[in-house]
């Protein structure tokens, strides 16, 4: 198993792999719609165009029972993905996703079109996750048996499942199977405070523009940029720590310590 | 370069302009090497985060919500007309009230379970007023139109009526259908320059042949024949058309001709956003009947409605219109909105714009993709029946079409051919 000489070198490896992944995943500007013959492989329902969303909204308001279902289906993957990245707990993510979709369903009559539908739904998602994290934080700080694992962030989520690089100590084989790189990134993201995590998820994972993030978080664009920079700085620090930790774990497995 | 603030550093991290980034980083390295390394690392971190894949929800995830999705549809009676301001808030309040009342009703039913037999008997005797469910009011919870759009309620009704005649089938059921093109309208269009618009003479106009150097623009020719594209669904059809023009390097596009309801929806969304940003404007299109009598044409009400879109004011919307209507290729070749409406209402849902000289090679590519399922048909041969396009008609029409095409090649070899496309569902 590869041992990392130093965190920076490991991150260079991470970056090279991610660059390759990004190139493979990003569609070209002239590409036809996804999930068609010859197009990019899509494992979920394709995102609806804004026009199609408006059409479905109109159809839903006109009483079409299929329109709402199609709308929610198109968003379930995105909402679930955001929830997972925010709370790092599949069971809670599932519950939160259902909460979000129900809120969307019940709130569609009041949706006034001032923001894009996607922005509105993502706002509901982020607010739901942040509320949940706040509740978890309150529970953790109130608990007499708080056994923090040494994280500096009191917003640190409960134990990550193995599929996302859980906080429990993974065996060397498990790390290799998951991909140590992915583990480090997931853990670093999970270790940030909620606001920092949210803004990185919105910007990098969900690929929103500053203006959209501003509408989701309901703060000015300037504030978005400041928070984003600070979140990046926090993530950098967290990633360096995770890579060092992983290389330390790998070293222990091999019976040696890394420098 | 001392004292870069957070936003400037963020710009170095996120900018896609590699030259500017390299210049900035070089200066930063000279000033603060450690900071520069950190910024470079943060650029790489961004790539890492962007590479995180989406996480799929469990299979049948929505199945648990299906009963709740279905429930509002049983309760609500949502008309399609536009509403007064605040109607949506009242509607939301009514919905909440309904929900609470329903919960109380469920509790009452449980309590009365012991007397089910008497209950059924009493119901059959008509002792209970069947209009108990007065919760479903007849006024409108539905569309939350802004006040600006109230004036357009009649337009919305008419748009809905028209859409029932034309593209509602496609939008609601996914079925594709034949529709006979209105030949007189099409023939009228052949004498017009399709991408010219007298309204687009402002600096903010989208790239358009009429506003760019006219000497560089080709002539446009509307084909007297149509492409009948057999496909299992509209997405596949778009993909096939896009692939067919992939190797055509110049003057090619696949355009989805927007309908009146679609344009209306885009305009409504744009108006709402303008209002939210403190720049409210009135509806930009004239209502039904506003056209002077000389401009009115018999037929659908939409033909009488004119969309005089002020491009300068609709800059954002124009981009979305392009995004919605341009499937592939160059936006310069998009017909203007009036013409798109005419085409789409005639059942010509797409327009394929290609150089005249490329027609045969594009058709060959289409056939290669779709195993020869496509047909070229003279437009007067198109029928409205379910088995409208007969293979024998194709065999006959092909000779006529080749004659037309050969004449075009001779007389207008540099022209761009605008080929209407009819979608036909594969049986």
pLDDT value of residue A122: 96
B294 shares its domain with B421 = yes
Structural domains of chain A sorted by starting position, each given as residue range(s) with its CATH number in brackets: 7-20+45-140+153-254 (1.10.1740.10)
Indicate if the alpha-carbon torsion angle B264, A50, B81, B91 is positive or negative: negative
Same domain, B340 and B262: yes
Task: Check if the beta carbon of residue B57 is closer than 8 Å to that of residue B133.
Answer: no
B210-243 pLDDT per residue, tens: 444 444 567 888 887 778 777 777 888 888 888 8
Q: How far apart are CA A159 and CA A167, in angstroms?
A: 5
Rounded to whole angstroms, how far apart are CA atoms A244 and A3? 11
Cβ neighbors of A166 (< 8 A, separation 6 or more) are: A159, A160
| Cβ-based contacts of B246 with chain A (< 8 Å) | 30
Share of residues in chain B with pLDDT > 90 (%): 9
| The pLDDT of residue B202 is above 50 | no
Where does a domain end: B144, B160, B192? Answer: B144
| Distances in whole angstroms, Cα of residue B320 to Cα of each of A50, A51, B153, B276, B325 | 9, 9, 23, 18, 8
Of B113, B144, B175, the residue at which a domain comes to its end is B144
B155 pLDDT more than 50: no
Check residue A15 and give its pLDDT: 52
Check CB contact of A22 with chain B, cutoff 8 Å. Answer: yes
- When mean pLDDT is compared across A59-63, A164-168, B417-421, the lowest value belongs to A164-168
**Alpha helices, H only, B62-195:** 66-75, 87-111, 116-124, 153-165, 168, 183-190
Are B341 and B415 contained in the same domain?
yes
**CB proximity A205 to B under 8 Å:** yes
Q: What is the mean pLDDT of residues A15-22?
A: 50
CA-nearest of B234, B396, B380 to B388 is B380
HSE of B298, CA atoms in CB hemisphere, 13 A: 2
Burial of A251 (0-12, 13-18, 19+ CB in 10 A): middle
Do B205 and B176 lie in a common domain?
yes
Cβ–Cβ below 8 Å for B54 and A78: yes
User: What domain range includes position B24?
Assistant: 6-50
Report the phi/psi class of residue B281: left, alpha or beta, with left for phi > 0 and alpha for psi in -120 to 50: beta
Instruction: Number of A to B CB contacts under 8 A, please give it.
Output: 213
Q: How far is residue B81 CA from its own chain's centroid?
A: 21
Determine if residue B86 is left, alpha or beta; phi over 0 gives left, psi from -120 to 50 gives alpha, anything else beta: left
pLDDT tens digit string along A35-47? 333 333 445 666 7
- Kindly tell me the burial class for residue A127, based on how many C-beta atoms sit within 10 Å of its own C-beta (0-12, 13-18, 19 or more): middle
Question: Same domain, yes or no, for B26 and B128?
Answer: no
Q: What number is the ipTM of this complex?
A: 0.74
Q: Does the beta-carbon distance from B246 to A30 stay under 8 Å?
A: yes
Six-digit token string for B58: 């469990």
Does residue B251 sit in the same domain as residue B303?
A: yes
Residues of A in contact with B92 (CB under 8 A): 107, 109-110
The verdict on residue B322 lying in a domain is yes
Element (H, E) at B354: strand B350-355
pLDDT band at A34 (very low <50, low <70, confident <90, very high): very low
Nearest-Cα distance to chain B for A173, in Å, is 22
Per-window interface: B 307-346 vs A, CB < 8 A: 320, 323-324, 327-328
Alpha carbons A222 and A212: distance in angstroms, whole number? 13
Question: Quick one: B179 and B245 in the same domain?
Answer: yes
Q: Give how far B68 is from chain A: nearest CA, Å.
A: 8
Q: What is the number of domains present in chain B?
A: 3
CB contact under 8 A, A229 and B51: no
Predicted pLDDT at B49: 92
Q: Which range (A232-246, B51-65, B335-349, B394-408) has the least confidence?
A: B394-408
């Amino acid at each position: 198993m590869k041992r990392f000489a130093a965190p920076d070198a490991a991150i260079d490896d991470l970056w090279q792999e991610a660059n390759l992944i990004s190139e493979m995943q990003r569609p070209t500007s002239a590409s036809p719609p996804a999930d068609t013959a010859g197009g990019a492989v899509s494992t979920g329902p394709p995102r609806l165009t804004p026009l199609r969303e408006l059409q479905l909204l109109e159809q839903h308001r006109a009483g079409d029972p299929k329109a709402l279902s199609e709308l929610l289906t198109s968003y379930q993957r995105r909402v679930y993905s955001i929830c997972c990245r925010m709370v790092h707990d599949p069971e809670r993510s599932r519950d939160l996703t259902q909460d979000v979709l129900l809120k969307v369903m019940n709130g569609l009559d009041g949706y006034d079109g001032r923001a894009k539908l996607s922005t509105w739904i993502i706002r509901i998602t982020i607010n739901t996750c942040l509320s949940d994290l706040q509740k978890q934080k309150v529970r953790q700080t109130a608990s007499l048996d708080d056994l923090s694992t040494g994280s500096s962030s009191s917003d640190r989520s409960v134990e990550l499942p193995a599929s996302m690089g859980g906080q429990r100590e993974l065996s060397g084989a498990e790390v290799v199977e998951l991909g140590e790189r992915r583990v480090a990134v997931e853990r670093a993201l999970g270790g940030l405070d909620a606001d920092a995590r949210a803004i990185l998820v919105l910007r990098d994972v969900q690929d929103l523009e500053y203006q959209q993030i501003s509408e989701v978080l309901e703060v000015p664009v300037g504030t978005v940029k400041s928070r984003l920079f600070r979140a990046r700085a926090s993530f950098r620090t967290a990633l360096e720590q995770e890579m060092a930790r992983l290389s330390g774990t790998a070293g222990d497995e091999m019976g040696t310590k890394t420098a | 370069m001392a004292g870069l603030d957070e936003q400037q550093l963020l710009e170095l991290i996120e900018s896609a302009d590699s030259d500017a980034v390299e210049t900035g980083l070089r200066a930063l390295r000279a000033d603060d090497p450690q900071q520069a390394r950190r910024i470079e690392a943060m650029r790489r971190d961004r790539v890492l985060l962007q590479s995180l894949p989406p996480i799929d929800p469990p299979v049948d995830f929505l199945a648990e919500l299906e009963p709740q999705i279905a429930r509002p549809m049983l309760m609500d009676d949502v008309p399609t007309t536009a509403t007064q301001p605040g109607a949506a808030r009242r509607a939301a309040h009514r919905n909440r009230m309904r929900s609470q009342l329903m919960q109380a009703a469920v509790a009452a039913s449980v309590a009365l379970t012991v007397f089910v037999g008497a209950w059924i008997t009493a119901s059959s005797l008509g002792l209970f007023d069947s209009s108990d469910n007065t919760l479903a009011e007849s006024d409108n919870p539905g569309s939350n139109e802004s006040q600006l759009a109230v004036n357009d309620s009649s337009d919305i009704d008419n748009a809905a009526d028209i859409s029932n005649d034309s593209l509602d089938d496609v939008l609601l059921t996914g079925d594709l259908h034949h529709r006979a093109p209105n030949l007189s309208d099409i023939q009228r269009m052949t004498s017009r320059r399709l991408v010219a618009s007298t309204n687009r003479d402002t600096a903010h106009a989208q790239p358009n042949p009429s506003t760019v150097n006219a000497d560089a623009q080709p002539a446009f020719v509307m084909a007297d024949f149509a492409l009948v594209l057999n496909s299992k669904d509209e997405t596949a059809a778009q993909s096939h058309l896009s692939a067919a023009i992939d190797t055509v390097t110049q003057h090619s596009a696949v355009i989805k001709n927007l309908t009146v309801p679609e344009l209306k929806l885009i305009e409504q969304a744009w108006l709402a956003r303008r209002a939210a940003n403190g720049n409210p404007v009135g509806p930009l299109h004239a209502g039904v009947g506003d056209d002077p009598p000389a401009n009115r044409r018999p037929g659908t009400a939409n033909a009488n409605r004119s969309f005089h879109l002020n491009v300068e004011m609709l800059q954002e919307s124009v981009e979305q219109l392009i995004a919605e209507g341009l499937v592939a290729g160059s936006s310069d070749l998009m017909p203007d909105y009036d013409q798109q409406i005419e085409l789409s209402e005639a059942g010509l849902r797409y327009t394929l714009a290609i150089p005249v000289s490329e027609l045969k090679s594009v058709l060959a590519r289409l056939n290669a993709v779709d195993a020869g399922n496509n047909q070229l048909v003279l437009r007067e041969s198109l029928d409205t029946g379910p088995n409208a396009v007969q293979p024998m008609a194709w065999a006959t029409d092909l000779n006529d079409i080749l004659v037309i095409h050969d004449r075009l090649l001779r007389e207008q070899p540099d022209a761009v051919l605008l080929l209407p496309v009819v979608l036909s569902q594969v049986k």
